[in-house]
Amino acid sequence: MEYIRITRDNIDAEHVCCAMSGKQALAKKEWLKRRFDEGLIFYRSVERGKCFIEYIPTENAWVPIQADGYLYIDCLWVAGSMKGHGYSNDLLRGCVRGAKEQGRKSTAFH
């Protein structure tokens, strides 16, 4: 499976995979845009469907968490026909790799 990183530069043209549509999806995209400057990372499958991971440094997580130096996984979702193919493992490995590249300790799950 190939994955695409959603960024400020491509978010308006890309699907964000959530179970939202219309105004909710637009609100989610605006929320994501504000979080990119805080270190939010969002990867989704190139194939359209619900297969994505969204994580951020714990210092900028939207929930109260004491875990400085870690990454907080806000959402990991693999559903429907995407299930059962190891895609969640791919996404988690990518997150752990990202944590190491950033000098982080590891990840904290929501």
Q: Quote the pLDDT of residue 108.
A: 52
Reported as a single tens digit per residue, the pLDDT across 8-58 is 999 989 888 766 667 887 888 899 999 999 999 999 999 877 899 999 999
Q: Quote the pLDDT of residue 110.
A: 45
Reported as a single tens digit per residue, the pLDDT across 57-71 is 999 998 898 888 899
Report yes or no: 32 and 16 within 8 Å, Cβ to Cβ: yes
Neighbours of 77 (CB within 10 A): 17
Q: Quote the pLDDT of residue 9.
A: 95
* Residues 86-99, mean pLDDT to the nearest whole number: 93
Name the token pair of 66.
């004491």
Residue 108 three-state SS: strand
Note the pTM of the prediction, 2 decimals: 0.86
User: Is pLDDT at 106 greater than 70 in this prediction?
Assistant: no
